[in-house]
Amino acid sequence: MSDTKKISDVLRIAVAQFNPTVGDVTGNLAKARAARAEAAGQGADLLLLTELFISGYPPEDLVLKPAFLKACMQAVEALAADTADGGPGVIVGFPRQGDKGRHNSVAILDGGKILAFRDKIDLPNYGEFDEKRVFVEGEMPGPVNFRGVRIGVPICEEIWNDLGICETLAETGAEILLVPNGSPYYRGKVDVRHQVALRQVIETGLPLVFANQLGGQDELVFDGASFAFNGDKSLAFQMSQFEETLSVTTWKRMPDGWRCDGGPMSRIPEHEEADYRACVLGFRDYVNKNGFKSVVLGLSGGIDSALCAAIAVDALGEERVRTLMLPYRYTSEESFADAEACAKALGCHYDIVPISDPVEGFLSALSEMFEGTESGITEENLQSRTRGTILMAVSNKFGSMVVTTGNKSEMSVGYATLYGDMNGGFNPIKDLYKMQVYGLSAWRNGHVPPGALGPSGEVIPANILSKAPSAELRPNQTDQDSLPPYPVLDDILECLVEKEMGVDEIVARGHDIATVHRVEHLLYLAEYKRRQSAPGVKITKKNFGRDRRYPITNRFRDR
């Protein structure tokens, strides 16, 4: 096919929200080829893939390796050669070594060759993004002539800010904006993206297609939910969230510009469903992309481990999930019954491994050194650390990844034991506050999300949802012995972490000043623990690690 073949008045654009793996250049190229074959089968003229698709996103310091950049370039050249067959052209993202440095780039491919490169100008450097560290800015772009249609290709961040990139594309003749994105999930993000895109549509008068990546990458979850707006600000199409899919959309040239004449209108999940599905997707991809065949977790009879077990079974299937009840003298019969009921409801493997002998062994070994001291937190933490050691032993023996089960409320204030319940490879609820854990658990009992491998019905026993949470490290213990009530704690933490509010502002919301001071102190004090914690799915706008980077050594207190 010659690249001079022209579009008349109909342009069929295939939008692929696929799941690449960072570093798997060969596998990502195969995915791009599969997407192109599917698009060709549906009569598409052009395939739009997502940001840095060939490398996977975000590739971070992989792009510092010349061999990696060379492999990505070779993959793009191979994909360009494919387009000589007369099928769809391709827009694909990849990291490119240019004359002035490394670029976050897009290649437009057609007719067996690379028509143009487009280098990202607006490199985000906040929150989870760190692109200025590894990429250099591109130059202000013009539109690309694709078969007679002048296409503007702003890359992700370039539609989020007011640098005039989209406006420049419109002024230089662009007829439609096709935007490859790597936009990670947080609660309510779809509405935010719609508003961002609408602002550019209003500014330029051009239709805009937003293609977003799908899949988990370490802490980040890319939720897809690709969409487009017509030039008159009407929603042209909306693709599904959390599902790998390709949609061919039909665009027609009208007197006032291009307009979408067909595409999906998928439902976007509400908050609890969206958060739960993000946890499942992020967990599944972390386990599978890192090559783990199975997972193991301690099932205590409490809400956190129960929700983690449900997420694990929904993500991987019951046969790949092993649960262990690790009782000591303070473990109640109620916890025994609840843990067993949860494992039975989920259908996963369940073992009981008592920890009395190893705990007593530790206490005996330390008895001379500890003689004359009061029994307290040290002895309680020995129980947690014994459990962590046993779980890691099972992991070593059978190759199962240990699932960490602490929530964001606990991680915030240090209500977790290093080398104990913080052991593990990944934590699906790390970025969920305690009350959100309850909310997602109640939601899952009434729903089975699309693609879930777990059963329907009540998978988290009602008693787990209703009883007072407890670590059961001493007689009659509850979390509220050490912490404010969770609704209070969670609100204070959200003010401190997500909103960076001052103490006076938080007190003005009705909170006790001494409680706020104490929570703030615990939050700062626990930073050293969080630095040693397992990665976990990002759900809120500001998670620990990528988004919130506080010093461990820190004497500031808002007094």
Residue 441 annotated as part of some ligand binding site: no
Residue 502 annotated as part of some ligand binding site: no
Residue 289 annotated as part of some ligand binding site: no
Contacts of 273 by beta carbon, 8 Å cutoff, 6+ apart: 443, 447, 449
Residue 529 annotated as part of some ligand binding site: yes
Closest CA to 539 of 239, 238, 280, 159: 280
Single out the catalytic residue among 31, 120, 408, 430. 120
Beta-strand ranges (E) seen in 299-434 are 321-325, 349-352, 401-402
- Whether 167 sits among the annotated catalytic residues: the reply is no
Single out the catalytic residue among 31, 72, 131, 156. 156
DSSP state of 221: E
**Could you write out the three-class secondary structure of 434-498?**
HHHHHHHHHHHHHCCCCCCCCCCCCCCCHHHHHCCCCCCCCCCCCHHHCCCCHHHHHHHHHHHHC
Write out the two tokens for 443: 């939601």
CA–CA distance, 94 with 113 (Å, rounded to integer): 16
CA–CA distance, 379 with 393 (Å, rounded to integer): 21
Single out the catalytic residue among 51, 131, 273, 380. 51
Beta strand 220-223 with 214-217: parallel, antiparallel or unpaired?
antiparallel
Rg (C-alpha) for the chain, rounded Å, is 26
Strand, coil or helix: 31: helix
Residue 361 annotated as part of some ligand binding site: no
Q: Is 409 left (phi over 0), alpha (psi -120 to 50) or beta?
A: alpha
Neighbouring-strand partners of residue 257: 254
Residue written as token pair 């690249």: 3
- Whether 120 sits among the annotated catalytic residues: the reply is yes
Strands ordered across the beta sheet of 113-119: 113-119, 101-110, 89-98, 46-48, 10-17, 245-254, 257-260
Residue 305 annotated as part of some ligand binding site: yes
* Residue 208 φ/ψ, nearest 5 degrees: -135, 130
| Contact yes or no for 238/268 (Cβ under 8 A) | yes
CA–CA distance, 325 with 301 (Å, rounded to integer): 8
Contacts of 213 by beta carbon, 8 Å cutoff, 6+ apart: 17, 18, 19, 20, 50, 51, 53, 57, 181, 182, 183, 222, 224
Residue 301 annotated as part of some ligand binding site: yes
- Whether 51 sits among the annotated catalytic residues: the reply is yes
| Contact yes or no for 107/113 (Cβ under 8 A) | no
DSSP state of 100: T
Residue 299 annotated as part of some ligand binding site: yes
**Cα 77 from chain centre:** 30
Strand, coil or helix: 407: coil
Residue 431 annotated as part of some ligand binding site: no
Contacts of 465 by beta carbon, 8 Å cutoff, 6+ apart: 303, 438, 441, 442, 445
Binding-site residue ranges for deamido-NAD(+): 381, 410, 529
Active site residues: 51, 120, 156
Annotated binding site: 126, 183, 189, 298-305, 381, 405, 410, 529
Residue positions in the annotated binding site for L-glutamine? Answer: 126, 183, 189
